[in-house]
Structure 1
Amino acid sequence: MEHQEILNRVDHTILTTTATWEQVKAVCDEGLAYSTASVCIPPRYVKKAADYVGNRLKICTVIGFPNGYSTPEVKVFETEDAIRNGADEIDMVINLGQAKSGDWEGVLSEIKAVKASCKGRILKVIVEACQLTQEEKVAACRVVSMSGADFIKTSTGFSTGGATVEDVKLFKEHISPDIGVKAAGGIRTFEQAQAMIEAGADRIGASALVALARQEG
């Protein structure tokens, strides 16, 4: 697979707690230069970034990030705020405590509420696969399939593990056919990204791939 084909599927990401506007602006410039699917940035910078790129690049941001344990009302407010500020795509973290206790109805209700707040924008649901058992991962696929969301996403990149080929294959097998899979967390080479795509990933969350492409000239 050509590297540009991979970059076209990448949410070019900067979510470090210390991210400055200059760094976010640089990520936007790189996203434009390398035609990435979007840039995924902290909520604080969404309005500035949306004004900066205009309609030339999709702006993605995160909700309930990275722990997922905000109330549904807070996640809905965060989503509405992000949309008002110009976000095109929303990556939300589920309530992992509810998932671990088997309260999948609660997880589903929250995702549906956030999806309604997206007003037609793309919603990706982060299930933090490294924290779930195989059975819980399958249950998460079922719930996301029922929720109206657009993608299931493996990881925040802030927990104990990131995307794995095995998890991507599992998600692809159990998620509804109309829902995409986003692999994120620890993907630092084009070879890793291609392995994820071959396993079934439709999107890649990564911060390192554009820099590699630039080195290649």
Structure 2
Amino acid sequence: MKINQYLDATYLKTPLQAGISEEENLINVTILLKEAVQFDYKLVMIRSKYVLFAKQFLKNNLSKTLVGTVIGFHEGTYSLATKLEEAKSAIDFDVDELDFVINYEAFKNGEINLVKEEVLQGTKLCLENQKVVKWIIEVAALKEDEIAAISKLIKEIVLENFGLEAAQKVFVKSSTGFYKTENNLPNGATFETMKVIIENAKPLQIKAAGGVRDYGTAVKMIEIGVDRIGTSSSKEICTNESSSKNSNY
């Protein structure tokens, strides 16, 4: 298994969140990009302000790694107009994939039409510009029946408005990785929640994000039907794969 081609290697902290300067944060982004060149990740997921820098860095190093960014991150409660403006800006930077945080709070409050319009317009914008779109539903904020319902809703909107051929370019994604849970409960992908998403969102693509930190967990996620893994532990996962292969000889 070429595990590297399932990985969206992620660094999404702002300088404030990381407690460092802008210059130091750019160094962290550069470290991630150097890893992408070395390990041939499928994609690097970074903040929009670094997209142009990342695209040029990867081009200069003859890397095929794609560049993705986040929209409405991380709360998801931004207006549709704000999210579309963010997305258009990222598209102007020639980003490859856009991970929108869906307004899961509106969904929980029964504002279904708001959520439908968000998915419709965000997906339309991305597909018209030949971009991949991922919808982050923030599983830690939802009950199991809500995870099932919102996953199904996204699937229905995509298939009804864009057809089955769009399913390969639209993902349902578990988490931002930034949601604060009580009592140290998981704030990202678990096998249980991913199975619920898979059952309700396929044939759309599925991305597990948050909490996938080792090769064994990554492999199991893929085996249950996950198509992509968002992680800040991509290097560890890739090096663990190498050591696992070596141990078989």
Alignment of 1:103-142 (within 5 A): 103-118=111-126, 119-142=129-152
Structure 2 residue 154 is matched with structure 1 residue 154? no
Q: Output one character per residue of 1:164-197: Cα deviation in whole Å (capped at 9) or x when no partner.
A: 10111111111131x1110000111111111211
Q: Which residue of 191, 207, 218 maps to 1:193? A: 218
- CA gap of 1:104–1:35, structure 2 versus 1, over 3 A, is same
Letter in structure 2 aligned against 1:145: K
Shift of 1:212: 4.8
Q: After TM superposition, what 4+ stretches of structure 1 lie above 6 angstroms from structure 2?
A: none
Is the contact between residue 213 and residue 236 of structure 2 (CA under 8 Å) also seen in structure 1?
Answer: no
Q: TM-score, normalised by structure 2?
A: 0.80
Distance (whole Å) between structure 2 residues aligned to residue 197 and residue 47 of structure 1: 31
CA distance in 1, matches of 2:196, 2:123: 24
Q: What number of residue pairs does the alignment pair up? A: 213
Matched, 1:75 2:83: yes
Measure, in 2, the Cα distance between the counterparts of 1:199 and 1:61: 26
Q: Once the two structures are aligned, what percentage of the paired residues are identical? A: 33
Hey, what does 1:31 align to over in structure 2?
36
Give the distance between the partners of 1:56 and 1:142, measured in 2 at CA. Answer: 33
Q: Per residue, is there more helix in 1 or in 2?
A: 2
Instruction: Give the alignment's TM-score, normalised by structure 1.
Output: 0.92
Structure 2 regions of 5+ residues with no counterpart? Answer: 19-24, 159-168, 182-186, 244-249
- Provide closer, same or farther for how the CA distance between residues 192 and 214 of structure 1 changes in structure 2, counting only shifts above 3 A: closer
Residue of structure 1 equivalent to 2:209? 184
Secondary structure of 1:8 counterpart: helix
Q: Which residue of 2 aligns with 1:168?
A: 194
Unaligned runs of 5+ in 1: none
1:133-189 Cα distance to aligned partner (Å, 9 max, x none): 122111111221133361000000001311010111111111131x11100001111
1:209 Cα offset (Å): 2.7
Corresponding residue number in structure 2 for 1:40: 45
Residues 12, 205 of structure 1: 8 Å contact kept: yes
How far apart are residue 11 of structure 1 and its match? 0.1
Aligned-residue CA RMSD in angstroms?
1.7
Structure 1's 139 and 212: CA in aligned 2 closer, same or farther, altered over 3 A?
A: closer
